A = this chain, B = another copy of it.
Amino acid sequence: MGTFSASEGADRSGEPRVEARLSEVSRPSSPTVVFPEDKPLRLESGQLLAPLSIAYQTYGTLNADKSNAILICHALTGDQHVASRHPVTGKPGWWEALVGPGKPVDTDRFFIICPNILGGCMGSTGPASLNPKTGKPYGLDFPVITIGDMVDAQVRLIDHLGINQLFSVIGGSMGGMQVLEWVTRQRERVATAIPIATAPWHSAQNIAFHEVGRQAVMADPDWRGGNYYEDGVVPKNGLAVARMAAHITYLSEKALQGKFGRNLQDRAARSFSFDADFKIESYLRHQGSTFVDRFDANSYLYITRAMDYFDLENAHGGKLANAFVGTKTQFCVVSFTSDWLYPTRDSKAIVKALNAVAANVSFVEIESDKGHDAFLLEEPEFHATVRGFLTAAAAKRGLAAYARGI
């Protein structure tokens, strides 16, 4: 009979990775700005957070008048390694299909900044960071944060870099939620915005899936009320289950059926056991185990919570359009037909609100059967859309002159 193996990968190779991962929390390999104790970040909860570290990566060159900067906001389990090798997993950057020399987000033309989000575990302050009051990792003493808080932390970084206006803010999924908070909180500082595969609020079903994941983590005895760091354990089984459940929502039913169907894994017939008979089972277990290697369980709790709290409509008096009143930002909203996590109707709600305030907005629904994950994949129409939008907007703003270092 089969036994639990969602974390097989972690068992095999996890220990060195746990060390590498924890090292990225306290001694990140990325450039990091630290805002000291006397400059706390005021959170939406009213709490003050200090010190505040923001670890980030940049790609390309900032031009003389600092007008070619693009901020990329990452998703729930993403990080700053957009187009550079991940220091823990050794894998290529998560958006190398889109970002790089000559790519749609062209690092020969633009200066790309991607910070690890507040609450993350790759060098920006999060629940795995040291709590100055105790000298130990925060654990659940870390304050509950919001998407708006993440953006306020990013504003600090952009200020620090001396950039007055961002040429563009781009992000998919939770990254798109940050894009929306940027244009509402910093309306003069965002020339163009590309919210991708995202939503202006988290639906009941979105919250439900996150709650399952959180309960899976918290049910793991190795979670220890969030204080697992110093015991040298990780709630890997719970976090793997959380990742497995979430992963299903990232793929369309059609993509799952096409990629895996009912195909068996390395066997000719059913085993009549609880082994991973089916390829889809094996795939999900792998997704669970590799995730545990690179992500902090408490960060997962805090970031999912921030997403669940996200409701731009409610935050603006129950009328989404109010969020965008007076905006001068030029928008390109992108959705994918088979995305059932943040379906096209969510993007349309954003577009409708932008239209209601006569904003400059284009909207593209990309035909894809890849589900929510499409935004991370080679989707030619999506990439052409981003390239076209940025190129036209750059030309309009006279940015073409800065192309390729001229």
- Please give the residue numbers on chain A whose beta carbons come within 8 Å of chain B beta carbons, in ascending order: 1, 3-4, 6, 44-45, 47, 140-141, 143-144, 201-205, 207-209, 211-212, 214-216, 218-221, 225-226, 237-238, 240-241, 244-245, 248, 253, 256-257, 259-262, 270, 272-274, 276-278, 280-281, 284-285, 288, 301, 305, 308-309, 311, 314, 340
Contact A253 B219 (CB under 8 A): no
Chain B residues within an 8 Å CB radius of A241: 212, 215-216, 219, 241
Least distance between A204 CB and chain B CB atoms (Å)? 4
Q: How far is the CA of A240 from the CA of B44 in the complex (A)?
A: 32
What's the Cα separation between A3 and B276 when bound, in Å?
32
C-alpha spacing A105/B21, complex, angstroms = 60
Cα A314 to Cα B288 with chains together (Å): 29
Stoichiometry, copies per complex: 2
> Inside 8 A of A260's CB, which chain B residues have their CB?
204
Q: Contact at A272–B144, with CB atoms within 8 Å? A: yes
Neighbouring B residues of A201 by C-beta, 8 Å: 262
Query: Cα distance A284–B248 when bound, in Å?
Result: 18
Q: Is the CB of B212 within 8 A of A284?
A: yes
A273 contacts which of B3, B144, B207 (Cβ < 8 Å)? B144
Given contacts A204-B257, A204-B261, A205-B253, 7 further A-B contacts (CB under 8 A): A4-B219, A47-B272, A202-B262, A204-B253, A209-B248, A211-B285, A214-B274
Decide if B256 touches A204 in the complex (CB within 8 Å). Answer: yes
- Nearest CB in chain B to that of A210: its residue: B281
Q: Which residues of B contact A244 (CB under 8 A)?
A: 208, 211-212, 215
Chain B positions within 8 Å of A221 at CB level: 221
Report whether B218 and A256 are in contact in the complex, using a CB–CB cutoff of 8 Å: no
Distance (whole angstroms) from the CB of A145 to the closest CB of chain B: 9
